[in-house]
């Protein structure tokens, strides 16, 4: 039997996260949108309160601490750390997406460490704020095309290359860098390495100025003979070991794509709430679902359609998170929810701006900011087009070589 209601434990998490979004993020949202690159010191307290996201982005079930955080219904399934992260992410991003991405210790690199790192690596790096460096000037959505290299030199690895659009790159304490140990092997040679900030040869080149999520810093790095210890390689150095090779690093996305979908759901929820409030003050019936179409206005019809799109994205995302918590392969569902939610977030926020007219476009409300913030949610962690390609491959049983 399908139960579409969140259990009480998840509702409690949602309420706590909503409180953070409402009480901490919303009051400073516009401040740090205008003061791009200024560190939002008001959120420092969240590091100790919320802990490190590493645990909240791993689907492995052998950690006792993770087991304590699960909620097991009578049928034996569980709502664990992935569901917890998604539920919390929705409510915090209802407050502010950029500030959510700025919470100390909650980086995409932490997810990679938890997904493919050894127990020793999780212990060593788990407490650090880790960013993820994948994108390069000539390699965006095609992660297999990266040119950054890592060569073995004695017991060390030496990294050379350039990375751009690294979320939290300036504020983090370490960066998980994707590099190829054997370019002739193609994407099979791609591995991930933990590079701690301050390592010689690693240079922060610039901070990007962006359309949205301005409170979250986005950096570019260069690596010039950057030497790191051999044990900083995540997973196996064996190219033939697909589970710990490229397939292993890609496993990170199965855990994090539902998180990005949750961000879009959160900002979409915020936009719909404000639009409903503003339009109801103008006489629009914002809860007209039970009325026949002939008795609804065009605006009322549009609000109903947007609500339906939002709910569809939410349910897809909850399913993908639930599958991860229960040890089920969720590559298809993770891509589906990311594609649906990313597109929904863009459409909902922009339509709410349009429907609310002057108030939607001005800085008197946060609607215009949410429209700007939502754009990146359809791009990072794999663009809309890449998600659709992944979905098509999964449904048709085609490999990346067969369907490009």
Across the chain, which has 404 residues, the per-10-residue mean pLDDT values are: 80 96 98 96 83 39 42 70 94 98 89 86 92 93 87 97 97 96 89 96 97 97 98 83 56 87 98 97 87 90 96 97 93 97 98 97 97 97 93 94 89
* Cβ count within 10 A of residue 26: 16
User: In this predicted structure, what is the pLDDT of residue 231?
Assistant: 95
pTM (two decimals): 0.90
The vertex-100 CA angle with 179 and 87, nearest 5°, equals 100
The reported pLDDT for the residue numbered 35 is 97
CB neighbours of residue 11 within 10 Å: 12
The pLDDT assigned to 1 comes to 45
The owner of tokens 């990266």 is 146
Active site residues: 381
Q: How high is the pLDDT of residue 124? A: 93
Determine the pLDDT at residue 74. 59
C-alpha angle 389/395/401, rounded to 5°?
A: 50
Rounded to 10 degrees, what is the CA torsion of 344, 346, 347, 348? Answer: 80
Which domains occur in the chain, in start order? 8-116 (1.10.540), 128-234 (2.40.110.10), 246-396 (1.20.140.10)
Does residue 267 contact residue 213 with C-beta atoms inside 8 Å? no
- Residues 6+ positions from 26 with CB-CB distance below 8 Å: 95, 96, 366
- Whole-number Å distance between alpha carbons of 3 and 1: 6
Q: How far apart are the first and last CA of the chain?
A: 38
DSSP conformation class of 133 = E
What pLDDT score was predicted for residue 73?
60
Q: What is the pLDDT of residue 65?
A: 43
- State the pLDDT at residue 166: 97
Instruction: Please tell me the predicted confidence (pLDDT) of residue 226.
Output: 98
Q: What pLDDT shows up at residue 69?
A: 45
The residues pairing with 104 across neighbouring beta strands, listed in sequence order, are none
């Amino acid at each position: 039997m399908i139960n579409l209601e969140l259990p009480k434990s998840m509702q409690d998490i949602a309420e706590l996260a909503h409180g953070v979004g409402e009480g901490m993020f919303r009051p400073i949202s516009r401040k740090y949108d205008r003061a791009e690159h200024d560190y939002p010191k008001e959120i420092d307290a969240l590091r100790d309160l919320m802990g490190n996201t590493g645990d909240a982005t791993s689907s492995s079930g052998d950690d006792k601490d993770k087991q304590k955080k699960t909620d097991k219904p009578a049928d034996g399934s569980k709502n664990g750390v992935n569901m917890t992260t998604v539920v919390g992410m929705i409510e915090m991003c209802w407050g502010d997406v950029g500030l959510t991405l700025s919470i100390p210790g909650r980086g995409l690199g932490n997810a990679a460490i938890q997904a493919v790192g050894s127990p020793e690596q999780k212990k060593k790096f788990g407490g650090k704020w880790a960013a993820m460096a994948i994108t390069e000037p000539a390699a965006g959505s095609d992660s297999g095309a990266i040119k950054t290299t890592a060569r073995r030199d004695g017991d060390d690895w030496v990294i050379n290359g350039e990375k751009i659009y690294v979320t939290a790159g300036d504020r983090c304490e370490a960066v998980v860098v994707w590099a190829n140990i054997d370019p002739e092997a193609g994407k099979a040679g791609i591995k991930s390495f933990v590079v701690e900030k301050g390592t010689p040869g690693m240079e922060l080149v610039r901070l990007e100025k962006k359309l949205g999520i301005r409170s979250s810093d986005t950096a570019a790095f260069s690596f010039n003979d950057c030497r790191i210890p051999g044990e900083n390689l995540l997973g196996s150095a064996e190219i033939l070991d697909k589970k710990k090779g490229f397939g292993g690093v890609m496993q990170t996305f199965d855990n994090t794509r539902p998180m990005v979908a949750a961000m879009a759901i959160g900002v979409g929820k915020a936009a719909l709430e404000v639009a409903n409030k503003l339009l109801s003050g103008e006489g629009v019936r914002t809860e007209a679902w039970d009325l026949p179409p002939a008795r609804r206005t065009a605006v009322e019809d549009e609000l109903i359609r947007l609500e339906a799109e939002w709910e569809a994205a939410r349910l897809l995302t909850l399913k993908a998170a639930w599958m991860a918590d229960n040890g089920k392969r969720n590559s298809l569902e993770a891509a589906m929810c990311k594609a649906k939610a990313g597109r929904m977030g863009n459409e909902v926020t922009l339509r709410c701006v349009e429907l609310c007219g002057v108030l939607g476009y001005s800085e008197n409300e946060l609607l215009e900011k949410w429209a700007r913030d939502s754009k990146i949610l359809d791009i990072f962690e794999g663009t809309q087009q890449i998600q659709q390609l992944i979905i098509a491959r999964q449904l048709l049983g085609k490999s990346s070589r067969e369907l490009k």
